[in-house]
Structure 1
Amino acid sequence: MNDFTHIDDQGKVKMVDVSEKKISYRVAKARSIVHLPDAVLAKISDGDIQTKKGSVFQTAIIAGIMAAKKTGELIPLCHPLGLENCDITIQLNDENELVIDCTTSITAKTGVEMEALMGASVAALTVYDMCKALSHEIVIKETKLMEKTGGKNDFKRS
């Protein structure tokens, strides 16, 4: 028995057929954690970093939303989806790390986990890109699914 949904009985790659699935409201939340070195932290003022290119966090949010909408174009076996919502927040935690949360939602036959992961990831990469002139010691530590609802199985990371 094959446990992978993207591989058929002959071991060939396939797109998952969602034609028989029921439409349901689906939500996913992903998180990226970005460690910022002191040189970058020193530039945070009023909850953001301003550069000659503009607001770092606002640009990262826009980039993350754009990426989430293009997930089906970038990951070969993802279904192309018309997201109904994508919300990205960026906050500094107690360890002086950026916590980037991306929440996506849709009413559809397939979930939006990959869209949430893509949004959080690209937002983190955008922070790196806009701040790398200050330091190359920026580290994107992790990106992970935090929760998902709708569909066959719900998930919530504790």
Structure 2
Amino acid sequence: MTATHTPRAHTARRQWAQGLTVFAAVMLMIAGLLDIFRGIMGIAEDDVFVATRNYVFEFDLTGWGWIHVILGAVAVIVSLGLFQAAMWARVIGVGIAGLIIIANFLDLPYYPVWSIVMIAMSGFIIWALCVARQDVTADSFEQPPRNV
């Protein structure tokens, strides 16, 4: 056996993949919760948001609020599936994180710094979900066998 095919290397890759999946699940849950709170602020028409004029993608603040609440709720549900290492959650998680990036890009003039933070956070979520191979995470979150 080569050094990359030893049981120890396989276990290390599995632990790395499981760690990335947990990272993505936690980050997606946090992003979802923060998006829900941001949406509630928009629906309540809070004074936190910047009023912009002549913006191409201009929506009513309440409309943006509902978009963020819906994306956040779906993100929280998908993150629960990621904790179970479900393949559907990985695929939908990448899609939801992409939609969060798009929504925050379009929402950039209203709340610029936070939009950039959410874009970066969603980028890390997409990276973590795409870099871990499914065959390595297929064992879900089982404990690796112990050497006796």
* Larger-gyration structure (1/2): 2
TM-score, structure 2 normalization: 0.35
If asked which structure has higher relative contact order (CA below 8 Å, sep 6+), I would say 1
Structure with higher helix content: 2
Looking at secondary structure, tell me which structure has more strand per residue: 1
